[in-house]
Chains A and B, each alone.
Chain A
Amino acid sequence: MPPRTCALCDDARAILKRPKTGQQICKECFFYVFETEVHNTIQESQLFKRGDRVAIGASGGKDSTVLAHVMKALNERYDYGLELFLLSIDEGITGYRDDSLETVKRNQQQYDMPLKILSYDELYGWTMDAIVSQVGKKNNCTFCGVFRRQALDRGAAILNVDHIVTGHNADDIAETVLMNIMRGDIARLGRCTSICTQGEDTIKRSKPFKYAYEKEIVMYAYFKKLDYFSTECIYSPDAYRGHARVFLKDLEAARPSAIIDIIHSGEAFEVKDDVKATQKIQRTLPHLFASILSKGDSLLEICKRCGYMSSNELCKACTLLEGLERGLANAAIVRALSPLFV
């Protein structure tokens, strides 16, 4: 078979078939279109303004490594005027996170960005290794999810940044859409496709790779020879997401545009107002009871233990911590029921 030439420059040898378009393109054109599409996503959503301090949530994995590389390149090429930082969370998982953090430390050198590492141990007094030795492998992802969310916010406050960007890609978002449909979680279905989320008090978070295919992110890392770490977390992968992921990969094999189509469907979902209202009451009821019991006036309070914003007397992380300290971790999980899939 003769080598195919690039559909864009009609010159160099094609090295990639783009899943989004089916186009066959060469290495240089691939770098250019991949970066330009991320730039367009950033511009269309007006994610940043000049002078913003932006932290890149960096795990050492493929997505955040490519994100750091592309953010640096775009910031220089289009003169965004951003100050970029790397922010990593050390969950305290021996043989997993300690290795991936070594990758982040190399990234810090390669990209010349300040790096802040915050550990569960220093924030909460517990590593995931210690938590798993107490609660076992069954519910430990609940702890990790609640702790990480708060840890990123705290890290952002320490770095004094306006904004956290994460490496969530199109495949991740399509998976989440599928999961929320299968679970019938209307409220999250509406939110999960937003490129940018901002809670009451929390720092702005966004996903510049919202429309970037995992295949292209991995190919980008491969052709740019980026240094990333790829090992599954040793404590129980998220089984439910695993099913959605396998299903999505099968869909992609049959029709590559399926991923972007699912995101568009998720975005176009319209939820009737009365359905939304019912959902909202269902979600707020436990909080209402809690605040009546604590004679609180407002739904949004400050955690009495750590000062983090909370809709109860204790924030979710502290509820879990109290359970851990009293050896009643599983009871704490029920009370802290966490928003893991935003």
Chain B
Amino acid sequence: MTTISLKIEFSGGLELLFANERSHRITLPALVPAAQGQSPADDGDAPKKPVDLEYLVCWLRDNLLKERVELFIENGTVRPGILVLVNDADWELEGEGEYQLKDGDEIVFISTLHGG
């Protein structure tokens, strides 16, 4: 199975939910089950899709997040008030959760919810 590697960064206080680690390098399968919530292990004949940001967000929740999931995810996507950048561009320009991840992508999550 082919994989892609990504650089993930958390800042603006969000790193506190991820063991206070700002920077992470991770590897994801290039293809994942099209239905949300299935892990690539139980693939079988289930339809596949290229790995996207929506999958990444759930993967981060299941694999890296250490506490208070409600401060990271709301209704299956990142909580309003968290900014996401894909290779230094606002994810709103890249299709948000539907953005298809590529090998070497850098994804940054910044919380705006912490005091000024």
Q: Interface residues, chain A, CB within 8 Å of chain B?
A: 1, 4, 13-17, 24, 59, 61-64, 167-169, 172, 214-215, 218-219, 222-223, 230-233, 245-246, 249-250, 252-253
Contact = CB atoms under 8 A, between A and B. Distances in A.
Contacts of A232: 13, 114-115
B79 to A, nearest CB: 8
18 contacts: A1-B95, A15-B88, A15-B89, A15-B90, A16-B89, A16-B90, A17-B90, A59-B116, A218-B12, A218-B83, A230-B13, A230-B114, A231-B16, A232-B114, A246-B80, A249-B79, A250-B80, A253-B80
Interface of B: 11-13, 16, 79-81, 83, 85, 88-90, 92-95, 99, 108, 110-116
A59 B115 contact: yes
Contacts of B108: 222
- Interface residues of chain B: helix, strand, loop or mixed (majority): loop
Contacts of B85: 222
A246 B81 CA distance: 8
Contacts, number: 73
B15 to A, nearest CB: 9
B7 to A, nearest CB: 15
B12 A230 contact: yes
Nearest to A64: B116
Contacts of A252: 80
Contact of B112 (A4, A24, A215, A233): A215
A64 B88 CA distance: 23
B116 A222 contact: no
A35 B16 CA distance: 31
A167 B116 CA distance: 7
Nearest to A228: B12
B81 A230 contact: no
A15 B116 contact: no
A168 B90 CA distance: 23
